[in-house]
Structure 1
Amino acid sequence: MNSLYQNLLRQSDTLAQLLDRADVDLTAPVSGQIETLLANLDRSLADYVDFSRTEPNLAKREKATLRSKRFADDIQLMKDRYARAQTRAAQRQTHGDERNELFQRTAPTSTTPTAPGAISISIGGAASSSATDYYAGESAALHRTESHLDDFLTAGRAALADLADQRHVLKRTHRRMLDAANTLGLSRSLIGAIERRGIQDTWVFVALVVVSVVAMWGMYAYFRG
């Protein structure tokens, strides 16, 4: 049973590394590896649960049950993190497509040269061309501002998602430390200190979320102004 537990740990660590890469750039190969690992983790956890039920030692069976529940929570957190990475990748692709379409629309079109001998009549042509250039410039500036705002908002959402992922990692580390402390028989005072540190980490996470929201609002107000 210990070998199954170690296998779950290795697969979980490998998946965490792939999710770190997915947060930066979710490519098709990385996505395929993540989905394969998630499926393998589900199967490995099912095998571990089935095997733990046959453990004759009551204490070991209870420990295995506790570990299996924690692994199930970790796997669900990783699935949620992968879903957020897919959403961010889709948003980046959508924004890229919109920018490309905007550039194609605002690209200057070639003019057909006037045939020799033809007479070109223009009424107020210079003023009309100047006004057209002015409005085209204003439109391009607005589009660039909107693009920057979209980029900042996307970066802000990614930062919030990363903070949430870090909180999940801290919670998982906290649970593992408590498990190790119980296994090694450490004193209750040390376990209490670990729990207090977990509460402090939670307040730090909340403070970071508030700062991120205020920063995004400030950038939005600055560019809108």
Structure 2
Amino acid sequence: MEGGSGGTLSEVHQSARKLLLKCSDDLARLERLEHSTSTSAAVDSDLSFAVKKDINQIQSLCVDMDRLWRSVAAKPQRDLWKRKVEQIAEEAESLKQSLDKYNSRIQKRTREANERAELLRRVNGGSDHVLRIFDDDAQAMHSVRNSARELENANALGEAILSSIHGQRERLKSAHRKALDVLNTVGISNRVLRLIERRNRVDQWIKYAGMLLTVVFVLAIVLWRR
């Protein structure tokens, strides 16, 4: 039983096994070199191409063996060779998948390196644009700080005005109480007292309106200065 390469089934199987061991060793070497900084990309590429070539050769030998085991006369021997050939084919496929994953990682790293180089080129070429952005940000922060300072000053002014109004209110209350005491002492009528109380309520409304207008005026000044 000879294959297309001129060998028997046993010889073809032995050749395939040797190639499997060689591919496995070369693939392991590739994975070690993947993390080595002293190895050139050309060496990795050449070794990867050699592994791919050997895997293709193994798969070609599997085609020959698949044809040869079918011509074995004894069924037990035929079944045995079938399992051996399938095992060789499975190992070759596993090596192929490992090689594909390795090539995918290399392509991804190459793409990421190119993207980083392009990004650095853009950053170095557009340094003026970056500085201009930083300057705009600094001006914006300065404007925000100025606005915050103006708001704090306006708030302090408003608090001082309200404190003054509150003091005046307390003084008015005290004067009102003293006036009521005096009026009660001299016997002023209840009608006159009600008129005075109504006038006092009107004065309070005027006072509250004045406070509201003061706050609105302060806010208007702040907004205008911004």
Q: TM-score normalised to the size of structure 2?
A: 0.37
User: What TM-score does the superposition give when structure 1 sets the normalisation length?
Assistant: 0.37
